[in-house]
Structure 1
Amino acid sequence: QLGKAIIKEIFASSKRKKELELTDMEYAILNVLEERFESSEEFKEDVKELSSILGGDIFEGWVEQRSVHRKIEGSVRRFLRKKYYKRFDMNQEKFEELFQLIMSKVENYAE
């Protein structure tokens, strides 16, 4: 029974990702934002914008290249600060949590 529920959830998630026309990385980031804050149509555009910002710097093996990794971290941090820090009245601790969550998705899905 639990297995069927999990499979249904996976199919629903995959279907939604296709409908939104998002990459794996974009969809993973969208899920973080929707879990952290209430769902918003703006988030789809935000993840597309972030993906566009990062696109030129992401290539196979980028995570191992320290300078590229730092550059991407800086881009993600600036983007999140600009979009969400004041809007959601975040303190530094909450901001850092969000940053770490988003970076983990970027590291896991971007290549």
Structure 2
Amino acid sequence: MWSWVAHRITGVLIFFFLFAHVLDTALVRVSPAAYDRAIALYKNPLVNLFEVGLMGAVLFHAFNGLRVIAIDFWEKGPRYQRQMLWGVVALWVILMAGFLYPMTQHTIHELFGGAQ
């Protein structure tokens, strides 16, 4: 049940990100200076944290979606749905651990290591 809830929440979060991304990218057609200001706002540690969350949402949503497809179209899918969920969680944790430092490297150096 919680994977169903998490799948819906991550889907909505990804939708809102894409909506905001289309809007801020459309600013370049209206005013390149306004676009530059909007992009400059994104270069802060809080937004970097949101980027990590977005990556987590996309990874979970994608892997859980493949699990849902397997449950629906594989005859043994319903029997192994719990094991597949743990596989999704394990894969998500491993990949997020791998993405965490590269995604936050700039912010870590900015906050704790001085200017690059």
Compute the TM-score of the two structures, normalised by the length of structure 1: 0.33
Counting helix residues as a fraction of each chain, which structure ranks higher? 2
Larger radius of gyration: 2
